A and B are shown apart, each in its own frame.
Chain A
Amino acid sequence: MSGYWSDIVTGGKSLVTGLAITAREFFRPVVTEQYPWEVPTMTPLFRGHTELIGNEETGEPNCVVCGMCQRACPSGCISLDGKKNESGKGKVLTRYILDFTKCSLCGSCVESCNFNALRFSREYNLASFDKNDFIMDLMHRLEEQNRCKR
């Protein structure tokens, strides 16, 4: 019987305390961000899909077609081709396809690159009805970026 009365008293008290806490929260400012109207700041390490880095002067990709990124990728997202450099030694990139549908944004490709040729983009608004939109031609993307720069 002692439990009966103490339950009523302590229980009632705990319920009133609960109401007091939510009442106080009611009058405190909102903590959420209204996303499309307020865009949160991105951290420097933000991982979007990868993109090629172009040479500062020529705008040509830094890539030397060593294939390290392709081998490092756990999901086999990357396929690239190159051809012999006509003016000198080494290779130049002709095609760099990222299959973003398989990518898990682990960043192994960026880390494996020794030639400063890959980085994460800042794209986050990726939505489409077509799966093929996510099979990305990064060479094309770099050309677009170069055009915008000019």
Chain B
Amino acid sequence: METSIWRALLYLVGLLAFAGVNAAWLGWCERKGAARIQRRIGPCEAGFAGLLQPIADGIKLMSKQLLVPQGVDGIIFRVAPILMMIPAITSMVAIPFSENIGARNLELSVLLLFALASLGMIAILLGGWASGNKYAIISAARSVSQNLAYEIPMLLTVITVVLMSGSLNLHDIAISQQGGFWHWNIFRVENGHFLTMWISFIIFFICSVAETNRAPFDMAEAESELVAGFMTEYGSMGFGLFMMGEYLNIVVGACLTATLFLGGWDCPFGLTPGIWWFLLKIYVLIFTFIWIRWTYPRTQIYRLLNLSWKILIPFSLANLMVTAALIKVF
């Protein structure tokens, strides 16, 4: 069954549909969520509650000319937005949506996901550099230093989870947390892990906000400083792909958080585990992303690096050592 062509095709179509729907309608969710927080209505004209707005936006973006300004590196300029989308969609292959739903059960899926997550940064770097715009280049340089700084604490906290589950396979990590919320990594009580795991969760969450270039860490896009950062020269679907890539990265980040810390598809009360619980968890996490974005002002690039190097990395290192010690002791 694992090798059947139908299975591969079905997952291909399913994952692409999942990615497409999320990339389009998360934009709608973001706008509605922001509007409610700001006590506005948000999109409301296109369809019921503005639900057709993403389609209207898509048609508008697609019907525009893909403008390649003079003096830019044409090939890289065109490739960069695609490069933003590919790793985000590919990551979905390794995500276990439920016990039986998951395209591939890879032994090293955690490693694969983090390798793919770093590729998004390269898309920003290439897009910014190829634009030949000063704002875009500043933005590209920022995004590289930001991603370097946040990958380290993120991986360090993931090691704590891996140490506890003894596996680099997301599916196995999720299975090790089945049977109610007290088994989830974030709330795990046995062996004194309640001391460390919630810290891991907070660090991981902060890092995933920074990794996906979301406010308050949207250094690369900082619209009041860098106009639109690496997207300054992009119009039409070039811009559209960057936007969709951003939302897909959020989805992948939320999936990872849910699997690593929140028990994957497990039900909090030990009943009816299944994909619905997984989806519920990731949308709650995504809403938190939106909620955070519309609450805080943007931080500064050196404050962001300070946060990573001076707070998150020491904390995650200490956390890792304590976890390892606890595992050894018990």
Contact = CB atoms under 8 A, between A and B. Distances in A.
A35 to B, nearest CB: 11
Interface stretch (A21-29, A64-72, A100-108, A141-149): A21-29
A16 to B, nearest CB: 10
A4 B44 CA distance: 46
B292 interface: yes
A42 interface: no
Interface in A17-75: 18-19, 21-23, 25-26, 28-32, 34
A19 B295 contact: yes
Interface residues of A, number: 16
Interface majority SS (helix, strand, loop, mixed), chain A: helix
B41 interface: yes
A47 B180 CA distance: 66
Contacts of A127: none
Given A4-B310, A8-B311, 11 more contacts: A15-B296, A18-B296, A19-B292, A22-B291, A22-B295, A25-B39, A26-B36, A30-B39, A30-B41, A32-B40, A34-B44
B11 interface: no
Interface of A: 4, 8, 15, 18-19, 21-23, 25-26, 28-32, 34
A30 B39 CA distance: 5
B198 interface: no
A25 B40 contact: no
Contacts of A26: 33, 36-37, 291
Contact of A18 (B40, B41, B44, B295): B295
A22 B39 contact: no
Contact of A30 (B40, B292, B295, B310): B40
Interface of B: 33, 36-41, 44, 291-292, 294-296, 310-311
Tell which of B33, B37, B40 has the most Cβ of chain A within 10 Å. Answer: B37
A4 B307 CA distance: 11
A4 B306 CA distance: 11
A59 to B, nearest CB: 43
B291 A23 contact: yes
Tell which of B38, B40, B291, B295 has the most Cβ of chain A within 10 Å. Answer: B295
24 contacts: A4-B310, A8-B311, A15-B296, A19-B291, A19-B292, A19-B295, A21-B295, A22-B37, A22-B291, A22-B294, A22-B295, A23-B291, A25-B37, A25-B39, A26-B36, A26-B291, A30-B36, A31-B39, A31-B40, A32-B39, A32-B40, A32-B41, A34-B41, A34-B44
Nearest to B33: A26
Contacts of A28: 39
Contacts of A8: 311
B292 to A, nearest CB: 7
Contacts of A4: 310
Contacts of A22: 37, 291, 294-295
A29 to B, nearest CB: 7
Contacts of A15: 296
A30 B296 CA distance: 21
Given A8-B311, A34-B44, A29 B39 contact: yes
A31 B40 CA distance: 6
Nearest to A29: B39
Nearest to A23: B291
Contacts of A23: 291
B245 to A, nearest CB: 26
Contacts of B37: 22, 25-26
Contacts of A18: 295-296
Contacts of B310: 4
